[in-house]
Structures are given as C-alpha cells and as structure tokens.
Amino acid sequence: MVSEEKKIRIAVLASGSGTNLEAIARAAESGEIPVEISLVLSDNPQAYALVRAEKHNIPTKCFLISDFPSREAFDKAIADELSAAGVELVVLAGYMKLVGGEILSRFKNRIMNIHPALLPSFPGTHGVRDALEYGVKVSGVTVHFVDEGLDTGPIILQEAVPVYDGDDEETLHQRIHQVEYRLYPLAIKLFAQGRLKVEGGRVRIIPAEDE
Ligand code: GRF
C-alpha cells in the first residue's frame, strides 16, 4: 500500500475504448499507484472511455475540434482545462490526436503515451498491424514521454511481447494489452515518486530508496 505517499493529480486523454484508463483507474483506487485521476478528456463524444470514467466517478470533458477556429485554439483550450484542474501529469491512453502547441509547451516532460510496439519501430496509428505485416517475431509495448514528433519522445519503459504464427491483429493486440495494463501504471507510479529523470533523449530510472 502507498496510502501515506503524496498523490499526484493526473488527467487521462482517450479517444476510444479506454481499457488502459480502466487499468489505471483500478490501480489508483487500490492504492497501487499514488495518483488521483482528476479528469478524463476526450475528443470523441462516443468514446467508451467516457463511460468507464463515469463508472469510476471521474469527471469527464469532451473537446470537439470542430468547435474551435483552429488547432491552436483547440490545444489551448485543453491546456487551460488541464491547468485549471491542477494536473501534474497528462496520460495519453489511445488518444488519437497529436498533442501539440500549448499542451506540449506547458507540460514538457509531463505527458506520457503508450504505444503498442517497440519504438522506434512501427510508430503511428497501426503499430500492431504494421509489426505483424512486417513479420517480426517479437513486438511489444513502449511507454514514452511525448515530444513534438509522432511517437518519438524519450522512452520510459519497454517490454517485449512474442508474435506467434497464428496471430492476427486482434490476438496480438490482446497479448500486447495485457502487458500495457501492467506497464502503464508502473510508469505512472515511477513518475509520481519522482524517479524519472530525462537526460537528453534518455530517461534514467532512479532506484527506490529501499532498493
Ligand atoms: C493501446 O493499445 C495503446 O497502446 C494505443 O491505443 C490503444 C488504446 O487502447 N495507443 P484502449 O483505448 O486503452 O483500450
């Protein structure tokens, strides 16, 4: 239990099903990670992630890009919402927009993303499919800080996942998801404990005091 640890406030940005959000919410509720999810934001009003958030009594907000005159205005509105909620870490969990502008500058090295492949291989929207089509025998999961590129920021954690002969995109993604549900809460916990140091393009993990 980490109940005596100071909790940090995080926001989760999600566009889709939100199974990673679910894993993070459960880890927060059980005290496994010292965080409070202050807010779930989406760019998609149909995202099931919003339903999951409500089930966990987490406030939600939806930002439609069509409601804003420009991409800059959209990003600024999200950044303002995150700041107003006192968010210390922004967690992208299946968020289908590139995070840019004001969000990136205000939350430098405080935005994380999870990608369903071993970066820098197979960046982009179809990491699982691309790895499968290429024919790799090992793919995996990457948690990284977000920079201005597409899936290019400093890598926090990675774990390999085997690809089997009979796999299709769905079976491989299921196996990858199981690793994601463990790796993402761990990366968030390391951040909350102040144990991630970004040094150039690398992230150093400071050992726990009792390790
Ligand atoms: C995950 O596989 C994640 O790696 C990728 O998008 C997927 C989101 O799944 N960025 P879910 O919405 O958390 O179920």
Mind listing the pLDDT tens digit for each residue in 163-199?
999 999 999 999 999 999 999 999 999 999 999 999 9
Number of structural domains the chain divides into: 1
In a domain, 136, yes or no: yes
In a domain, 209, yes or no: no
Question: d(Cα 18, Cα 58) in Å, to the nearest integer?
Answer: 13
Q: Which domain covers residue 122, as residue numbers?
A: 8-195
For the chain, the residue count is: 211
* Pair of tokens at residue 79: 């950044």
The answer to whether residue 115 is catalytic is yes
- Whichever domain contains 33, its CATH number is 3.40.50.170
pLDDT band at 86 (very low <50, low <70, confident <90, very high): very high
In a domain, 201, yes or no: no
| Ligand 1 atom with least separation from CA of 116 | 4
Question: d(Cα 108, Cα 102) in Å, to the nearest integer?
Answer: 10
| Ligand 1 atom with least separation from CA of 177 | 2
Q: How many Å lie between the centroid of ligand 1 and the Cα of residue 165?
A: 23
The CA-CA-CA angle for residues 96, 98, 99, to 5°, reads 115
* Pair of tokens at residue 68: 């804003």
In a domain, 187, yes or no: yes
Mutate to test the pocket of ligand 1, among 20, 43, 144 (most ligand atoms within 8 A of CB): 20
H helix or E strand, kind and range, residue 189? helix 169-192
In a domain, 93, yes or no: yes
In a domain, 137, yes or no: yes
In a domain, 210, yes or no: no
Average pLDDT, the chain: 96
